Chain A
Amino acid sequence: MKERIQKLRKISTETPAHIDMERAKLFTESYKLHEANVSIPEMRALALKHYFTNKTLYLGDGELIVGEKGDSPLSSPTFPELCCHTVDDLKIMNDRELISFKVKDEDYAFQERDMIPFWENRSIRTKIIAQMPDEWMNAYHSGIFTEFMEQRGPGHTVGSENIYNKGFLEHKADIKAALSKLDFEKDPEAKSKENELKAMDIACDAILILGRRYHDYALYLATEEQDPERKAELLQIAENCSVVPANRPQTMWQALQMYWFVHLGVTTELNPWDAYSPGRLDQHLIRFYENDLKTDRIDRDKAKELLECLWIKFNNQPAPPKVGITLKESSTYTDFANINTGGITPEGEDGVNEISYLILECMDEMKLLQPSSNVQISKKTPRDFLLKACEISRKGWGQPAFYNTEAVLLELLNAGKSLEDARKGGTSGCVETGAFGNEAYILTGYFNLPKILEVTLFNGIDPVSGLQLGLPLGKAEDFTTYEALFEAYQKQIDYFLAIKIQGNSTIEKIYADFMPVPFLSVLTNDCIERGKDYNAGGARYNTSYIQGVGIGTITDSLSAIKYNVYDKQKFSMAELIQALTSDFSGYDRIYNLVCNHTPKYGNDDEYADAVMYSVFDYYCTSVTGRPNVRGGHYRVNMLPTTCHVYFGEVMIASPNGRHAHKPVSEGISPEKGADTKGPTAVIKSTSKMDHLRTGGTLLNQKFTPSTVAGEQGLEQMANLIRAYFSLDGHHIQFNVIDRQTLQEAQQHPEEYKDLIVRVAGYSDHFRNLSTALQNEIIERTEQCFH
């Protein structure tokens, strides 16, 4: 690693995350000025423009790619228009041990004096809470589901080649053309389209201003600079900023700077989930790289250095601070920008190129939390690329994750995308499938599948709070057959889905009406043509997701009941319910039977896997195809981020022997310790779920270092991935760290500051995880090679 990168990396990894109020201040000023006299989309765009015109610029020593969301690296702007933090919220953020954000003394007073009075009744969060019915509030607070949009904007969006094919002056011309085509006589929506298009035009101006300011600033710093080498770099940065974002980039350096300006625009306009990602970076950059090589502008080393500078930029942006349940479902600094490497080209050919290899090297050298880096493995991917990715993965810190290109493609086609759009697509966030540049695919919340069984077993009552959450369909003892129990479970799923989806409709409408994102809309195909915002259904495709959590726990719980209560009659339902409410204390026999002598998911066992499929199939069928308010449909994916810990906290013991308040299973992985037949059995079981019907599934495998050691270990790891993908598995990732090391790290976090582990669809510093989550990772079954 070059000295420059070492210095930048040190700043990026050692600076504490901190709150920056400048955005809140400038956005509020702009809102106050314009609220009464312009349309909402224009008001949003004017606020962005006001921020980019006046924000503090940062251009750090040695930087080659410039721009920060806030005033410096690791600063985190707030978004009071979405979630207006209380002074207590700020104190909690500042004081909490994990995922803390330093708050300056004067910020508390500023929040109380200037922000709260203006925003407390205007914020989206307030609007949402005010409009949600009691059933929704009860289910939400009891942990039946979570709500993604309560503190952050709709997101999961990924950039496309659009970023490099046009400068913002060209976008302005497109907008102008669209404006000129509006038909105010015949189109009743012409006025709202005009508002939106004008807002998009202002948003373009905003980014042009930011580019110009960075040009001027770099030029100024160059005149002050004594070191001739740095002076030349600053002059080049100034020149880059005079080309982009106004015009198309001409070089790889400019292309990266263009991406970064766009990233800043999208993530400061609003704070969409999963930030923003360049998507197919290797395929977008290759033409610039090859051209630079031809004209001797760059060599391989320099290209890598530029990429590493971009990596630093990603890592400089902690995810916006969250509080409450939203913090629990996503307890991490990671903002999930997930770069796709490899895969196939839009023409369907092998997409691995020289930049793909550079990205692997960059990922390996940088070992940063952000960006999340993955490899897309297709049938056409060269073996050596797969092996190189495995070699990095087996070092143990969870990157890269492996995705199945063909599965992703089929999932997209199944969801109605054109072949070309599907091939340009990939995965973002944790594992979510999307048509990059063409789709608004919004994750709306996690859905607690095991908790719904709990409620079913207690006649619709939540045994934790005592509230009647679900339908009163009878006590557990009343279900005389497994089929009767399962039917009741299905009815409760439907009941809670209806509550969740009605809530979603209200929330999505609130965003469409009050929180448009004209800047993001400029970059998303069809928004300009339709004169419609990304958050209002302007994108070519508009999908909403509800993420199922705990398939391992629910499968083993149902299997435990079916096998022991109904099939073998080892104990009665009444005894089981007593065991659950006693957390198995005094019920050793039942505990032993459900833990050790019951078919479990993850062992390629037909009995248990059939139960898994019945739950998955019902959940997937119930969700898929329901209309959302943006003209698209609902689909499912199966991933948890850190929500499986929270979803376990809100539950008593479950019939599979999981103790009260312990995490439920994560992703589509088996319950901890339930899989005893090795990784091939896990893969067989998990692939019985029909991945192609989903928008992504997440499988975590933990290996001990010795099991992936040597050439055999590496080769078979690659073969394991190939086998999983031939069974249509969507995604697999590896933690390769032995139990002893993790236990050491738990006891002596100071000695393991750099230890990064795979959590769910992302990696995190082990020291930043809650003790419950640390334990959970330690307990995940270690798969051994024999």
Chain B
Amino acid sequence: MKEPLITDIQKYCIHDGHGIRTTVFFKGCPLSCGWCHNPETQSFSRQLLFDEDKCRGCGACIPACQSNAITLSKNKAVTNQQLCTVCGTCQEECLGNLRIPSGNYYTVEELQKELEKDLVFYTTSGGGVTLSGGEVLLQDTEYLEQLLSYLATKKISVNIDTCGHAPREVLQRLFPYVDTFLYDVKLMDPVLHKKFTGVDNRLLLDNLIWLNKQHARLWIRIPVIVGVNSTLAQMEQIAFFLKSNEIHPEQINLLPYHNTGRNKYNRLSRTYHDSDFETPTNDELERFFLLFQEYGFANVKIGG
């Protein structure tokens, strides 16, 4: 059983399903959406997040590094990615607290313990746990099955936040334990889907149809990104797809794109192409909202 990497466990999430929830962000995703606001969850490996802007070049990290991967250049610490093993020993020694390794391994018992800490809030609010990412369904299936069956014995509700790009067999194995699937739908055009996310959309749409046939409870989450999927025709294609496949989600969320993840790209030494994407106007969102209502979807929400 392979332990997954987890980038964050956020408590008190109130927009990822009913009630007060704890959301687990697993590391690694089959998609590579350019607008992703959690870019550190895309790679399946541990990575060093480094806030270079704030680095004062004190050099305290240099002797701490066991791999001699850090040098000073122009009064900033520079990490040789080939040498860095992301061991994390530099983290405590950085005087500005600017070096954060992203991704920690959790045994299933450790994760269970952490998730059970907020049991009283789940009980009081009708909440639970949301497994998100990255892509949770591509983590070790045995691990997930053990985690989910344990949470089921504790009567803790589990939601899965997924892009849907995962083997059917995984869905079949986990399906019995899941309360709600928060299912991302981005584009109907397979070519554009491949262009923007790196993968074709057939598998994830087929999986959605399959889940619907199993009477899964679904929240459809549509990121609305100007420059990607925000024409009326593109939105209508999504609405049409849902209706023609008789998919009746409990809720549809139109999630306006925002660029709050930009800083994280810098910290991963990645370039963020923010000129490619724009936030939709309230008028546009309102129009899409009405469009989905016209298609017969009663519970449409703008935002999470």
- Interface residues of chain A, those whose CB is within 8 Å of chain B, are 570, 588-589, 591-593, 595-597, 604, 677-681, 684, 712-713, 715-716, 719-720, 722-723, 726-727, 783, 785-786
Given A588-B95, A684-B118, residue A785 in contact with residue B15 (CB < 8 A): yes
Given the interface pairs A592-B97, A684-B117, the reply to whether A677 lies near B92 with Cβ below 8 Å is: no
What distance in Å separates the Cβ of A714 from its nearest Cβ neighbour in chain B?
Answer: 10
With A604-B117, A719-B124, A723-B124 already in contact, the answer to whether A785 and B14 are too (CB < 8 A) is yes
- Distance (Å) between the CB of B10 and the closest chain A CB? 5
Q: Tell me if B30 counts as interface (CB < 8 A to partner A).
A: no
**In contact, B118 and A716 (Cβ under 8 angstroms):** no
Report Cα–Cα, A549/B68, bound state, in Å.
47
- Are A723 and B14 in contact, CB atoms less than 8 angstroms apart? no
Assess whether B11 is interfacial by the CB under 8 Å rule.
yes
Residue contact A678 to B12, C-beta cutoff 8 Å: yes
- Cα distance A592–B93 in the bound complex, in angstroms: 8
A-B contacts besides A680-B20, A684-B118, 10 pairs, CB < 8 Å: A589-B93, A604-B117, A678-B10, A680-B121, A684-B117, A712-B14, A713-B14, A726-B124, A727-B120, A786-B12
Q: When A589-B95, A592-B94 are in contact, do A712 and B15 touch as well, CB less than 8 Å?
A: yes
State whether A680 touches B93 (Cβ < 8 A).
Answer: no
A54: min CB distance to chain B, Å: 58
Given A592-B94, A596-B97, A684-B117, residue A719 in contact with residue B125 (CB < 8 A):
yes
Q: Contact mask B1-43 → A, CB, 8 Å, 1/0?
A: 0000000001111111001100100000000000000000000
Q: Bound state CA distance, A597 and B95, in angstroms?
A: 11
**Residues in A whose Cβ lies below 8 Å from that of B121:** 680, 719-720, 723
Residue of B nearest to A725 (CB): B124
Q: Across the interface, which residues of A come within 8 angstroms of B120, CB to CB?
A: 684, 723, 726-727
Number of interface residues of B (CB under 8 A): 27
A679 and B95 form a contact (CB under 8 A): no
- Give the nearest-CB partner of A603 in chain B: B11
Contacts of A786 in B (CB 8 A): 10, 12-16, 23
Taking CB atoms, residues of chain A closer than 8 Å to B20 are 680, 716, 719-720, 723
B19: which A residues are within 8 A, CB to CB? 716, 719
Q: Check A593 against B125 for contact (C-beta < 8 Å).
A: no
Q: Is B232 an interface residue (CB 8 A)?
A: no
- Tell me, rounded to whole Å, the shortest Cβ–Cβ distance linking A381 to chain B: 14
Across-interface contacts of A727 in B (CB, < 8 A): 120
In the complex, what's the smallest C-beta–C-beta distance from A499 to chain B, in angstroms? 41
Contacts of A593 in B (CB 8 A): 92
Query: What residues of B have a CB within 8 angstroms of the CB of A719 in the complex?
Result: 19-20, 121, 124-125, 127
When C-beta atoms are compared, the residue in chain B nearest to A709 turns out to be: B303
Contact B124 A722 (CB under 8 A): yes
* Complex CA distance for A596 and B97, rounded to whole angstroms: 7
B83 contacts chain A at the CB level, 8 A cutoff:
no
| Most chain A CB atoms below 10 A, which of B13, B19, B97, B124 | B124
Chain B 104-129 near chain A by CB (<8 Å), digits 1 or 0: 00000000000001101101110100
Q: Are A681 and B11 closer than 8 Å at their CB atoms?
A: yes
Distance in angstroms between the alpha carbons of A678 and B21 in the assembled complex: 12
- Given contacts A596-B97, A719-B124, whether A680 and B15 have CB atoms under 8 Å apart is no
Give 10 closest A-B pairs by Cβ, nearest first: A719-B125, A723-B124, A678-B11, A678-B12, A786-B13, A596-B97, A588-B95, A680-B11, A716-B14, A786-B10
A720 to B20, CA, bound (A): 8
Q: How far is B121's CA from A715's CA once the two chains are assembled, in angstroms? A: 12
- Min Cβ gap B12→A in Å is 4
What is the CA–CA distance of A678 and B16 in the complex, to the nearest angstrom?
16
Complex Cα distance, B92 from A655, in Å, reads: 17
Quote the shortest CB–CB distance from A57 to chain B (angstroms). 53
Interface set, chain B 42-92, CB cutoff 8 A to A: 58, 60, 91-92
16 A-B residue pairs with Cβ-Cβ distance under 8 Å, sorted by A, are: A592-B97, A597-B92, A677-B11, A680-B118, A684-B118, A712-B14, A716-B12, A719-B121, A719-B125, A720-B125, A723-B121, A723-B124, A726-B120, A726-B124, A785-B12, A786-B15
The distance in angstroms between the C-alpha atoms of A786 and B91, with both chains bound, is: 25
**CA separation between A593 and B125, bound complex, in Å?**
37
A336 nearest CB across to chain B (Å)? 31
Q: How far is the CB of B26 from chain A (nearest CB, A)?
A: 16
Q: With A and B bound together, what is the CA distance between A679 and B121 in angstroms?
A: 11
Complex CA–CA separation, A570 to B93 (angstroms): 11
B16 surroundings in chain A (CB, below 8 A)? 786
Separation of A784 and B11 alpha carbons in the complex (Å): 10
* Interface residue ranges, B against A (CB under 8 Å): 10-16, 19-20, 23, 58, 60, 91-97, 117-118, 120-121, 123-125, 127
Chain A hits for B12, CB < 8 A: 678-680, 716, 720, 783, 785-786
Residue of A nearest to B16 (CB): A786
- Name the residue of chain A whose CB is nearest to the CB of B124: A723
Q: In the assembly, what is the distance between CA of A311 and CA of B20, in Å?
A: 37
Question: Are A592 and B95 interface neighbours, CB within 8 A?
Answer: yes
Residues of chain A lying within 8 A (CB to CB) of residue B123 = 723
Q: Which residue of A lies closest to B9 (CB)?
A: A677
With a CB–CB cut-off of 8 A, which chain B residues contact A681?
11, 117
Measured CA separation A364–B15 after assembly (Å): 28
Indicate if the CB atoms of B10 and A716 lie closer than 8 Å: no
- In the complex, how many angstroms separate the beta carbon of B49 from the nearest chain A beta carbon? 14
In the complex, chain A residues whose CB is within 8 Å of the CB of B15: 712, 785-786
Distance A691 CA – B10 CA, assembled complex (angstroms): 27
Please give, as numbers and ranges, the residues of chain B lying within 8 Å of A713 by CB-CB distance: 14
Task: Specify which chain B residues have a CB less than 8 angstroms from the CB of A722 in the assembled complex.
Answer: 124-125
Please give me the residue from chain A that is nearest to B114 by CB atom.
A604
Q: B50 to nearest A CB, angstroms? A: 15
Cα–Cα distance between A719 and B94 once the two chains are bound (Å): 39
- Chain B residues within 8 Å of A595, by CB: 97
- Closest A residue to B13 by beta carbon equals A786
B18 to chain A, nearest CB (A): 9
Most B CB atoms within 10 A — which of A591, A593, A712, A726?
Answer: A712
Question: Are A589 and B97 closer than 8 Å at their CB atoms?
Answer: no
Name the residue of chain B whose CB is nearest to the CB of A677.
B11
Provide the bound-state CA to CA distance between A13 and B52, in Å: 51
Q: Complex: how many Å from CA A570 to CA B89? A: 13
A726 to B12, CA, bound (A): 17
- Cα A543 to Cα B116 in complex, Å, equals 40
The answer to whether B60 touches A589 (Cβ under 8 A) is: yes
| Residues of chain B with a CB closer than 8 A to A684's CB | 117-118, 120
Q: How far is the CA of A588 from the CA of B61 in the complex (A)?
A: 13
* Minimum C-beta distance from A348 to chain B (A): 23
CB proximity of B16 to chain A, nearest CB, Å: 8
- In the bound complex, what is the Cα–Cα distance between A756 and B118 (angstroms)? 32
Q: List chain A residues, Cβ under 8 A from B124.
A: 719, 722-723, 726
Nearest residue, chain B, Cβ from A597: B92
Q: Closest CB-CB distance, A784 to chain B, in whole Å?
A: 8
Which residues of A lie under 8 Å from residue B93 when comparing CB positions? 589
Q: Which residues of A contact B11 (CB under 8 A)?
A: 677-681
What's the Cα separation between A595 and B12 when bound, in Å? 24
Chain A residue with Cβ nearest B12: A678
The answer to whether A785 and B13 have CB atoms under 8 Å apart is: yes
Q: Bound complex: CA of A677 vs CA of B121, how far in Å?
A: 14
A244 to B239, CA, bound (A): 71
Contacts of A783 in B (CB 8 A): 12
Roughly how many angstroms separate A679 CA and B14 CA in the complex, as a whole number?
A: 12
User: In the complex, what's the smallest C-beta–C-beta distance from B303 to chain A, in angstroms?
Assistant: 8
Complex Cα distance, B95 from A727, in Å, reads 38
A475 to B20, CA, bound (A): 48
Name the CB-closest residue of B to A715.
Answer: B125
A679 cross-chain contacts in B, Cβ below 8 A: 11-12
Best-surrounded residue of A592, A604, A680 (most CB of chain B within 10 A): A680
Q: Is there an interface contact between A723 and B97, defined as CB atoms closer than 8 Å?
A: no
Closest chain A CB from B84 CB (angstroms): 20
Chain A residue numbers with a CB within 8 Å of B127 are 719
- Report the Cα distance A94→B120, complex, angstroms: 52
